[in-house]
């Protein structure tokens, strides 16, 4: 889902989180239709008339008849912000572990009856619809955002302004901008991967087999057969304890597509296994389009070495 709003969004733009309906019950409908929905009894004729006429003090007094003064003031201020926004606020919400953003289009709120009518509402159009992508087209998943921003999803109320710091970080993320410090770290990570890959290629066959064995064990696999067995087809015999899935592994230092294809034919005869892994660090690029065959080349091996904490081990063996 991609908004037609022209990016980049200016730093300093006000950013406001909104929960779409009580406990988020209108999320799917609002996102699908590109609507900003809000409750606060705004669909009732008297409340709607006070909002349209900007009688905010009257609305606060009306809320104070059933709510504490502080709550009445907060409800009124949230409603006023929603009604008076002229497309200057960046509205954000969370649904299905993704962040959606948008600006309201010109116009005034209209009475709206959600298909899940836990309460009535008014609605405003989001210009170009809600978007869950940044300027580079990358999905804004929860796991890719700072915890201080994703914490908004647990907010019990309806809406609130993000802090200046969180607002700036989110705008930079939507704009596809990268913080210079983060960019330096990413550059250093790439340098590490490149250098580590060259070191992995220096390992002798026995050490490389041992490394692969350790990586699978660290990933949760249980070894059923020893490394470098006398069997010509497989080097490792594995089982995943949680699922019971079985796998066999062929480990090569240098290899080719032709060699890989020969092992694919062997795999057709290995009906007792659920999966095959082909692991190598040097040679032609190898890809597999078979669902139960995984190819682990140098890039993947390097990532597993880093995540598994085996960098020092590799450096010691490659001396």
Phi first, then psi: give them for residue 230, nearest 5 degrees.
Answer: -80, -10
Work out the angle at residue 206's Cα, subtended by the Cα atoms of residues 299 and 279, and round it to the nearest 5 degrees. Answer: 30
* Cβ(292)–Cβ(319) below 8 Å: no
Pick the CATH number of 184-317 from 1.25.10, 1.10.3470, 3.40.1350, 3.30.1380: 3.40.1350
Distance separating alpha carbons of residues 150 and 156, to the nearest angstrom: 13
Cα-only R_g, the chain: 28
d(CA 76, CA 74): 5
Q: What residues does 125 pair with on adjacent strands?
A: 35
Please identify which residue in the block is written with the tokens 């057969």. Answer: 225
Q: 294: closest CA among 224, 241, 215, 229?
A: 215
Locate tokens 């497309």: which residue?
A: 87
pLDDT in tens, 255-307: 999 999 999 999 988 889 999 999 999 999 999 999 999 999 999 999 999 99
CA distances from 165 to 135, 148, 172 (A): 20, 10, 11
pLDDT digits (tens, 9 = 90+) for 208-248: 999 999 999 999 999 987 665 556 678 999 999 999 999 99
CA distance 294 to 250: 11
Which residues are paired to 91 by β-bridges? 16, 102
d(CA 74, CA 132): 28
Instruction: Provide, rounded to the nearest whole percent, the portion of the chain with pLDDT above 90.
Output: 81
> In this structure, are residues 198 and 299 in contact, taking their beta carbons and an 8 Å threshold?
no
The confidence score (pLDDT) of residue 231 equals 60
The token pair at 155 is 């907010």
307 or 22: which leads in pLDDT: 307
Quickly list H helices, the chain: 27-33, 45-52, 56-64, 69-84, 147-150, 164-174, 180-200, 205-218, 257-269, 298-308, 311-317
pLDDT band at 3 (very low <50, low <70, confident <90, very high): low
pLDDT at 2 over 60: no
Helix (H) or strand (E) holding 222: strand 222-225
The confidence score (pLDDT) of residue 4 equals 59
Average of per-residue pLDDT across 18-34 = 92
**Residue keyed to tokens 């983060």:** 182
Confidence of residue 115 (pLDDT cuts 50, 70, 90): confident
Return the domain boundaries, the chain: 14-174, 184-317
Q: What is the pLDDT of residue 227?
A: 61
Q: Measured in whole angstroms, how far is the alpha carbon of residue 288 from the centre of its chain?
A: 26
The gap from C-alpha 96 to its chain's centroid, in whole angstroms, comes to 10
Counts of helices then strands in the chain (DSSP H, E): 11, 12
Task: Name the strands in the sheet holding 14-18, side by side, starting at the edge strand that comes first in the sequence.
Answer: 98-102, 89-95, 14-18, 159-161
Q: pLDDT grade, residue 17 (50/70/90)?
A: very high
HSE, side-chain direction, 13 A CA sphere, residue 212: 31
- Are 316 and 206 in contact, with CB atoms under 8 Å apart? no
Output the pTM of the full model: 0.69
pLDDT tens-digit readout, 61-112: 999 999 999 999 999 999 999 999 999 999 999 999 999 999 999 999 999 8
pLDDT tens digits along 238-251: 999 999 999 999 99
Q: How confident is the model at residue 120 (pLDDT cuts 50, 70, 90)?
A: confident
């Amino acid at each position: 889902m991609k908004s037609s709003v022209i990016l980049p969004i200016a730093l300093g733009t006000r950013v406001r989180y909104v929960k779409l309906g009580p406990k988020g019950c209108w999320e799917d409908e609002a996102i699908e239709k590109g609507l900003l929905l809000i409750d606060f009894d705004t669909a009732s004729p008297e409340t709607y008339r006070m909002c349209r006429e900007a009688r905010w003090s009257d609305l606060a007094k009306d809320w104070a008849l059933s709510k504490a003064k502080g709550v009445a003031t907060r409800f009124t201020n949230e409603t006023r912000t929603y009604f008076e926004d002229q497309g200057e606020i960046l509205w954000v919400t969370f649904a299905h572990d993704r962040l959606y953003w948008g600006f309201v289009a010109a116009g005034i709120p209209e009475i709206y009856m959600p298909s899940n009518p836990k309460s009535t509402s008014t609605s405003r159009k989001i210009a170009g619809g809600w978007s869950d992508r940044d300027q580079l087209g990358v999905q804004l998943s929860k796991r890719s955002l700072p915890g201080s921003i994703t914490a908004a999803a647990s907010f019990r109320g309806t809406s609130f302004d993000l802090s200046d710091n969180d607002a700036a970080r989110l705008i930079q993320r939507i704009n596809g901008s990268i913080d210079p410090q983060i960019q330096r770290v990413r550059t250093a990570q790439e340098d590490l991967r490149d250098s580590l890959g060259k070191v992995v290629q220096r390992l002798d066959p026995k050490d490389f087999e041992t490394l692969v064995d350790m990586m699978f064990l660290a990933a949760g696999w249980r070894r059923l057969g020893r490394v470098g067995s006398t069997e010509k087809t497989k080097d490792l015999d594995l089982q995943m304890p949680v699922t019971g899935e079985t796998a066999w592994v062929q480990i090569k230092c240098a290899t080719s597509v032709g060699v890989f294809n020969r092992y694919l034919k062997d795999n057709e005869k290995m009906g007792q296994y659920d999966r095959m892994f082909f692991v190598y660090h040097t040679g032609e690029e190898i890809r597999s389009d078979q669902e139960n065959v995984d190819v682990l080349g140098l890039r993947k091996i390097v990532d597993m070495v880093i995540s598994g904490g085996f960098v020092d081990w590799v450096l010691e063996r490659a001396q």
